[in-house]
Amino acid sequence: MAFWEYVLFNNTIQTWGMALLVTIITLIGLRIIQAIIARSVRTVSHRTRFKLDDILVHVVAATKFFVRLILALYAGSQVLTLPREITIWLDTIAIITFLIQIAVWGNAFISAWIQQYRERTFESNAGRYTTMRAMSFIGRLVLFSVILLLALDNIPNVEVTTLLASLGIGGIAVALALQNVLSDLFASLSISLDQPFAIGDFIIIDSFMGTVEHIGLKTTRIRSLTGEQIIFSNTDLISSRIRNYKRMYERRIQFMLTITYDTPYEKLKEIPSIVQEIVESQEKVRFDRAHFKEYADFSLNFEVVYYVLDPDYNFYMDIQQAINLEIYRRFELEKLDFAYPTRTLYVRNGATQEREVGFTANEAFETG
């Protein structure tokens, strides 16, 4: 009897050799097919502006070696004569392996799509990118759930219907145990879909303020002005009052000028027009009003309101500084004195009386 005619596990050595040859040829053939497809897609992607071609390049590159190896072994096993039980399990392993590869391809497609979407829209619309991240999570969850159910359905002696019924009962208990986590998850989806703020926005929540750095499935993180990171649960965040300064189109500014009581009437009448002239001389500013508001304890108070047509805080501070310096210079030229709390002492017939007035001198004495 020739060597290749010896029987090993119900198959001759020649048959085992044929199975090995089929396995090697299949493994090499799958690798060649992958390389040809990848090269073709890459060539097309360089010639066109369609982003889908670039995504397909990532998808093809995500083909795993172990998947090709298992499929090649399965192809080689078809040459052999094997027991029915082993044949059934080999079919199951091959199907599950292919399903795993589909899951890997789907995950690569979603990842590449989100990355390209980030590059195109993050700077112009960070909120939309956050929404897409949430939608990608839902897409992955659906993809992996479907693949898992298909894989279980192909395992011998596994009843998916019975399993789903038991999972439904167990899911209620898990949902009760993870109530806070699920609440934060749905709050994250609410933030992503409604977009009250996005990554890069400067927000204020109660007494906390900072720039949004990360919007996760359970928490949102902001970087405060003093440098530390503040972490909020998404549930607490959407139930709070949030002020989003990044979406401010213009900034309303209100400030007071306090003038001494001994200022002449004619000078008081000129103050609103002086302030208006100063404010309107600035760029990106809309003057609203300047009025003699009230008689205070030690001053005559003028209220000034204007709008800065730019949300940038540093830009606003530069304008306010320029206005303050010009007001100081003009008031100095017009001989207008700013009021501040002072004490005037009156001495009459040996009795001393004190009161608060708006004179610029620290003390004044009168003798009756």
Q: What pLDDT does residue 218 have? A: 82
Q: What is the pLDDT of residue 50?
A: 57
Average pLDDT, the chain: 82
Given a cut of 90, whether residue 161 has pLDDT beyond it is no
The pLDDT score that the predictor gives to residue 284 is: 92
Tell which residue, 333, 260, 331, 252, has the closest CA to residue 301: 260
pLDDT at site 177: 54
Query: What residues contact residue 354 under an 8 Å CB cut-off, 6+ apart?
Result: 343, 344, 345, 346
Among 35-44, 88-97, 287-296, 339-348, the minimum mean pLDDT is found in 339-348
Q: What is the percent of the chain with per-residue pLDDT over 70, rounded to a whole number?
A: 79
Strand partners, 134: none
Nearest to 227 by CA among 213, 237, 217, 240: 213
Assign 40 a pLDDT band (cuts: 50, 70, 90).
Answer: confident
Here the tokens at position 175 are: 């949902």
* Cα 34 from Cα 106, distance rounded (Å): 16
- pLDDT reading at 317 higher than 50: yes
- The confidence score (pLDDT) of residue 184 equals 77
Q: What is the pLDDT of residue 286?
A: 94
**Has residue 165 got a pLDDT over 80?**
no
What is the amino acid identity at position 67? V
Range from 10-19, 52-61, 220-229, 356-365 carrying the lowest mean pLDDT:
356-365
pLDDT at 172 over 80: no
Assign 171 a pLDDT band (cuts: 50, 70, 90): low
d(CA 145, CA 8): 42
Annotated domain spans of the chain: 3-184, 187-244, 248-368
Model confidence pLDDT, tens digit, residues 260-284: 999 999 999 999 999 999 999 999 9
Q: Report pLDDT digits (tens) over 208-242.
A: 999 998 888 788 999 998 899 999 988 888 888 88
Question: Does this chain's domain 187-244 share its CATH topology with 248-368?
Answer: no
Provide the 8-state DSSP code for 338: B
pLDDT tens for residues 118-146? 766 655 555 566 667 767 777 888 888 88
pTM: 0.55
Q: What is the pLDDT of residue 368?
A: 34
Residue 363 has pLDDT above 70, yes or no: no
What residue ranges in the chain does DSSP mark as E strands? 7-8, 11-12, 202-205, 208-215, 219-224, 229-233, 242-244, 251-259, 285-295, 300-308, 342-348, 351-357
pLDDT at 256: 95
Residue pair 200/208 in contact (Cβ under 8 Å)? The answer is: no
Output the pLDDT for position 114: 78
Confidence of residue 305 (pLDDT cuts 50, 70, 90): very high
- What would the two tokens of residue 228 be? 């530390």
Between residues 360 and 88, the one the model is more confident about: 88
256 or 159: which leads in pLDDT:
256
Between the alpha carbon of residue 341 and those of residues 97, 180, 297, 304, the distances in Å are: 84, 55, 9, 21
CATH class of 248-368: alpha beta
Task: Provide mean pLDDT across the span 319-326.
Answer: 96
Taking only the tens place, the pLDDT of each residue in 57-85 is: 888 888 889 999 999 999 988 888 888 88
* 357 confidence band (pLDDT: 50, 70, 90): very low
Higher confidence at residue 320 or residue 200? 320
For residue 198, pLDDT beyond 70: yes
Least confident of 77-86, 198-207, 288-297, 346-355: 346-355
Q: Greater confidence, 49 or 267?
A: 267
Query: What is residue 311's predicted lDDT score, i.e. its pLDDT?
Result: 85
Q: Which CATH number applies to 187-244: 1.10.3720.10, 2.30.30.60, 3.40.50.1820, 3.40.50.920?
A: 2.30.30.60
